[in-house]
Structure 1
Amino acid sequence: MSEQEQHASAEQPQRRLRVGVIFGGRNSEHEVSLKSARAIMAALDQHRFEVVPIGIDKAGRWLVGGDPLYALEQAADPHLLGRPPQPGVVRSSLPAHVSAGRLPDPATALDRPPAPPEHHALAGAPIGPLDVVIPVLHGMYGEDGTLQGLLEIAGMPYVGCGVLASAVGMDKGMMKAAFVAAGLPVLPYLLLRRSDWERQRTALLDQIEQRLRYPIFTKPANAGSSVGVSKCRTREELAQGLDLAAQHDRRLIVEQGINARELEVAVLGNDDVAASVVGEVVPAHEWYDYADKYLEGRTGYLIPAPLDDATAARVREMAVTAFKAIDGAGLARVDFLLDRDSGAVYLNEVNTLPGFTEGSMYPKLWAASGLPYPQLLERLIALALERHADPRVRDLDRPF
């Protein structure tokens, strides 16, 4: 290249990466997703990234064009967004660019030039070429491997864990089985089917009381953000807790409760995995429930957690082991319970798409570890592109 060509090349502005941010979804964590998406889009460097917002409403319709985030916020429950309802305000209808139960219809395409062949695009989407996608759908149909499978089929790089890790990380029964297989400590638990609970209530209550002692936690096997979770101190509360969990999933977890401190570690990486400092959640309520996490803003955080060096190192090591046990990639938040009475540490769960609101623990932990929010997002995007570019990942399951 001549000196003149090099000078001309240096003067050309670097093309911004087009980043699709997918949010909303038809699950119980819809509003949490909207809060995370707003924080992420505000933090992405507009000089380096062109943000393409893509919404999914509670009926599963995809929204593109205009301001999908604003539209979904207007249609959402203001209480779950942590906002007081506005008197006299009628929730707006959704914009015209919607597609019922499928990818957006090409007939509603925005006025964009065709995608160059070297760039990827969501099949049939009227959003032009995307370089990478950030899924910000917590819970079912977003965090459980379903969206990740769609993006794999589309050949689209995306932030976070793949199909297998997302599915295992979402299902508490399979997750605990993976932890046990990796030699990681978990609290005693039972996995029940909703159909069995509906037919054998008395027998199952007897079985649980023989295996576990009160307090007992009941949870849906597939849910997050403490949705459908109950702390039960009596047989009557146990039955009520299982009824509530059964409203959210067909498989139910019954778990031994302990007098616990709640510890969390953020992990980051693909094959080379780094762990943040250990943080501790100090709930305003008796335990860390949905209102405590997202609505009231009274939760306390201790970062770093007041632990001795040996315990902190062991928790960080266990976090990386847990992440690898489910074949994680990109990011996850790993949660622990430290028994105040015995000092034992137990794996609670791996959250493969943790909250990214301003008050969320995952970005707080990395900020305390020297990686601020905007740089954290840039690192996650780089990891997504790195994983997608690895031919061994792309071709692993091909029969030819």
Structure 2
Amino acid sequence: MANEKKTVAVLYGGKSTEYEISLLTAYSVINAMDLEKYRVLPVYIQQDGRWIAGEEIKGKLTYKDQLLLKEDSSAEEIAEHWLAPSASSSTETRPDIIFPLLHGPNGEDGTVQGLFELLNIAYVGSGVAGSSVGMDKVLMKDVFAAHNIPEPHYVSMSRFEWENEAPAMILKVKNAIGYPCFVKPANGGSSVGISKCVSETELSAAVTEALLYDTKVIIEEGVNGREVEIGVVGNHELSVSVPGEIITKNAAFYDYQSKYQEGESTLVIPADLPDKVKAELEQVAKRAFTALNLSGLARVDVFVREGDQRILVNEVNTMPGFTQFSMFPLLWQHTGLPYQKLIEKLINLGLQKHAEKQQIHYRIDG
């Protein structure tokens, strides 16, 4: 029936350094959802990887820890039923769509999206390939390079290379990038494990730190310019938000504390950009979204370089945060799409993408 409520399973927590951010995001999204339109089912992934399903949410949550569900056999049976591939034909307990509010590895990197594909359940956001490449900064930048999308210079190295060829790697950074530079885990988010380096000594310490969070790192040139972000929403026909600028107060860059501690940074929305720069930003953001085969949503982070005002893509975030301090929903709010309507649009885009995939034939004789 057209007016029947859609069941949305909200997935949060997870095995990631961004576990706490996921909880904050889920708390915000669930409280913003229209319970007259949706049946909302919380699904909590503990830090040890265990999945726990909760009962339907009937009203506003009053505090974040309500999301820390306890083990309950009846709820677990519901989750296990629709999470099992053998239950793929069941319609009684399966959600219509999953909203994976997971950040970082084991949630934003294509792993959980692969599970949804196997279960043939609709979900919000990019698919396996887009999520995976969007999460891996090295692969992402390689794709940008192949598509001639402007970006800062970069090099990468694996833990094996660092442990066996550290002097050569340091020389490579010096010759290709120089200082200052930024060292990042290839797979990660929320600025966890990122360091700014101005010397070889700092570079060595930074690489060691970044390798705590991944098996390879990326080193990028420092760009003298403004940090600007823009939202993209859509599957095929893409819409872009107004741009926003990040101004950090005390940090050397937009680090974890600046992102999630109130008062540590200022978000200027809309960013004061010349019309020509804004138009270029919108086009580059759409090109980056398309090149990575993304769908649903993404936040495209760029530098507007001083002097020539050139747009350089820093990275794309395929599941940006929805906390009260998050840029993505604020960008759309200033564009004219309120938080609740943004969530509804993303759910509809996920359902549309799933319906489109049902047209694919997997047998040549049928």
Q: Normalized against structure 2, the TM-score is what?
A: 0.91
Query: 1:262 and 1:159 mapped to 2: Cα distance?
Result: 27
Pair 1:131-2:99 in alignment = no
- Answering whether residue 266 of structure 2 is matched by residue 280 of structure 1, we say no
Residue 21 of structure 1 is aligned with which of 10, 17, 26?
A: 10
Q: Partner residue of 1:346? A: 312
User: Which residue pairs with 1:374 in the alignment?
Assistant: 340
Cα offsets for 1:347-378 (capped at 9, x unmatched): 11110000111221110111111100000011
Match of residue 389 from structure 1:
355
- Structure 1, 206-215 or 367-376: larger mean CA deviation: 206-215
Cα offset, 1:344, TM superposition: 2.1
Determine helix, strand or coil for the equivalent of 1:225: coil
Three-state SS of the structure 1 residue aligned to 2:106 is coil
Q: Does 1:294 align with 2:283?
A: no
In structure 2, the CA distance between the partners of 1:287 and 1:399, relative to structure 1 (3 Å rule), is farther
Q: CA deviation at 1:398?
A: 5.8
User: Are 2:117 and 1:152 aligned?
Assistant: yes
List runs of 5+ in structure 1 lacking aligned partners. 1-8, 77-91, 99-105, 116-120
The counterpart of 1:336, out of the listed 294, 302, 307, is: 302
In structure 1, C-alpha distance between the alignment counterparts of 2:364 and 2:189, rounded to whole Å: 36
Shift of residue 235 of structure 1?
Answer: 1.0
Cα offsets for 1:243-286 (capped at 9, x unmatched): 11111111110110122210111000001011111111111222
Aligned twin of 1:45: 34
CA distance in 1, matches of 2:126, 2:323: 19
User: Which of 61, 71, 77 is residue 109 of structure 1 equivalent to?
Assistant: 77
Shift of 1:67: 9.4
**Cα distance change on mapping 1:237 and 1:309 into 2, 3 Å:** same
- TM-score, structure 1 normalization: 0.83
Change (3 A) 1:297 1:107: closer
Deviation at 1:109, TM superposition (A): 2.2
Cα distance in 1 between the residues matched to 2:179 and 2:287: 30
Aligned-partner SS, 2:123: coil
Q: Distance in 1 between matches of 2:76 and 2:252?
A: 49
- Preserved contact between residue 228 and residue 245 of structure 2 (Cα < 8 Å): yes
Relative to structure 1, the CA distance from residue 43 to residue 398 in structure 2 (aligned partners, 3 Å threshold; closer, same or farther) is farther
> In the alignment, which of 133, 142, 145 is matched to residue 107 of structure 2?
142
Which residue of 224, 239, 244 corresponds with 2:209?
244
Displacement, 1:65?
2.4
How far apart are 1:302 and its partner, in Å? 1.1
Classify 1:108/1:336 alpha carbon distance in 2 versus 1 (closer, same or farther; 3 Å): closer
Q: 1:259 aligns with which of 224, 230, 234?
A: 224
Partner of 1:122: 83
Match of 2:148 among 183, 190, 193: 183
Compared CA separation, residues 398 and 387, structure 1 to 2 (3 A): farther
| Deviation of the 1:396 alpha carbon | 6.3
Which one of 272, 277, 282 corresponds to residue 316 of structure 1? Answer: 282
Q: How does 1:31-70 map to 2 (within 5 A)?
A: 31-65=20-54
CA contact (8 A) 1:122 1:130 kept: no
- Alpha-carbon offset, residue 149 of structure 1: 0.5
Q: 1:75 to 1:40 in 2, by over 3 A?
A: closer
Tell me which of 85, 97, 107 is aligned to 2:72. Answer: 97
How far residue 394 of structure 1 moved from its aligned partner, in angstroms, is: 5.5
From the superposition, tell whether residues 399 and 329 of structure 1 become closer, same or farther in structure 2 (CA, over 3 Å): farther
**Distance apart, 1:172 and its partner CA:** 0.5
Q: Report percent identity of matched pairs.
A: 40
Quote the Cα distance in structure 2 between the aligned partners of 1:107 and 1:278. 42
